[in-house]
Amino acid sequence: MADAAYTPRGQDAASLQHDIETAVLRGRLTAGEQLPSVRHLARTLGLSPTTVANAYRELRRRGVLVTQDRARTLVAHQPAPVFRLAPAVPEGTLDLATGNPDPELLPDLTRVLAHLPQIQHRYTEDVLLPQLRELAGSQLETDGIPTDHLAVVGGALDGIERVLGVHLRPGDRIGVEDPGYPGSLDLVRALGLEPVGIEVDDAGVVPEQLDAALDDGLLALLLTPRAQNPTGAALTTARAEALRSCLDAYPEVLVIEDDHLGAVSGAPASTLTSGRERWAVIRSVAKWLGPQLRVAMLAGDADTTARVLARQRLGPGWVSQLLQHVTAANWAQARDTGLLTTAANLYATRRSALLAALDREGVEASGTSGLNVWIPTPEEVTVVQALAERGWAVAAGEVFRVSSGPAIRITTATLDPELAPGLAADVAAVLADRLSGRRG
């Protein structure tokens, strides 16, 4: 909590800047708190307005302060990074909470690992393995996504962070899905960006909500075009057209798409990035080739991709070609054996079985694609606890939400369809108990 008695102090721009930054670091000034105007602080400290303005300007450059409404100077939102553990799964319950794919539907690594290349690559060689470029490029082009500029990054969040880092600065406003993926929400906040929640329905982001957010000054939009986590939303053709119409009036807005489930999502690919000035589509493989493969393909405009590659060079340099080789071999194996099609069909069957069972019980739920079903609830913690007592471990919705209402997420990736009616009946009973005020 901020110190109400705190007043900035300093004899010149440098000491004033140091005093304010120290107050932020020590918690005497907190995110969103307003500082005095330049003229007011100048009179208080006996400094010239130019001196105070210079201190504020440097603090804005450093990401400590932001300007809002062109008049107010606020402390930037830069919370400490969040390390989230997987949801706790009580002993004796069926894990429908942690969001993992079915390991039985992932490619076998044995043959791939036995044939890893023995040649050491040099620093100067192409950092994108040709086999991976060919596989990813073919799939992306089939989905209508340009592949003139490709990069390989260390997973979806790594790609998102790199794109945001080369285009945005602390205090910038970014549209995010509400509810949305906790990892993306945490990343946006950790970068000091201001997340603006945009409502999601079964067809994706709601156009009227996006319009309002754009009018309010968004600089970027981050969304999931299909298999949205946690709601399972997937862009329809009509919705994609409507959203592109909204975005056409804002050509400078950066659009990032996190297509994390790709070919096993149970929905066709769709994109809002066509013809835009600044864009990136990130397609990771962890959910359909294996969580240990921290690899994602990034397609984008020329400037974005070049900046990402340049920044990557200053950190890890590139994604290991050994890891790329395993990814490419697994990808080809899964495609050639039909495993991706099998996985997509089974995931859809399991998700649909629960949705149908919930519908028969009169329980509202969403999940048109992906691995999850989202169920609005009157409250979260007691519902999660009550279902655990009945043998079902599910996830509370709080970490997924910006300002949307309470809900639970049920991951159906490993749910036997024969168990769906029993689970739906228990969900309905627990919700009825909560709505009636009972706790038994």
How does pLDDT run across 57-111, given as a tens digit for each residue? 888 877 788 887 667 898 886 655 667 767 778 889 999 999 999 999 999 888 8
Rounded average pLDDT over 301-311:
96
- Pairing relationship of beta strands 395-396 and 407-411 according to DSSP bridges: antiparallel
Which residue has better confidence, 264 or 6?
264
Residues 336-385: pLDDT tens digits?
A: 999 999 999 999 999 999 999 999 999 999 999 999 999 999 999 999 99
Q: Long-range contacts made by residues 279-282, C-beta under 8 angstroms, separation at least 24?
A: 279/254, 279/255, 279/304, 280/159, 280/163, 280/254, 280/255, 280/256, 280/304, 280/305, 280/308, 281/140, 281/145, 281/256, 281/257, 282/153, 282/156, 282/159, 282/160, 282/163, 282/256, 282/257, 282/258
* Confidence (pLDDT) at 2: 47
Residue 246 reports pLDDT greater than 60:
yes
Using alpha carbons only, give the angle 228, 229, 235 rounded to the nearest 5 degrees: 10
Contacts of 18 (CB under 8 A, 6+ apart): 10
Using alpha carbons only, give the angle 265, 417, 337 rounded to the nearest 5 degrees: 45
What is the length of the chain?
440
DSSP 279: E
Q: What is the mean pLDDT of the chain?
A: 92
DSSP 216: T
- Extract the tokens encoding 187: 């990343």
Split at pLDDT 50, 70, 90, the class of 1 is very low
Which residue has better confidence, 6 or 134?
134
Helices (H), 62-107: none
Give the separation between CA 259 and CA 159, rounded to whole angstroms. 11
Whether omega for the bond prior to residue 146 falls within 30 degrees of 0, making it cis, is: no
Radius of gyration for the alpha carbons in the chain, expressed in angstroms and rounded = 24
Domains of the chain and CATH, by start: 13-75 (1.10.10.10), 94-102+339-436 (3.90.1150.10), 118-335 (3.40.640.10)
Q: Please, is 2 exposed, middle or buried when counting C-beta atoms within 10 Å of its C-beta (0-12, 13-18, 19+)?
A: middle
Residue 238 reports pLDDT greater than 90:
yes
Residue 126 reports pLDDT greater than 90:
no
pTM of the model: 0.83
Residue 42 reports pLDDT greater than 50:
yes
Of 21-35, 95-109, 154-168, the one with minimum mean pLDDT is: 21-35
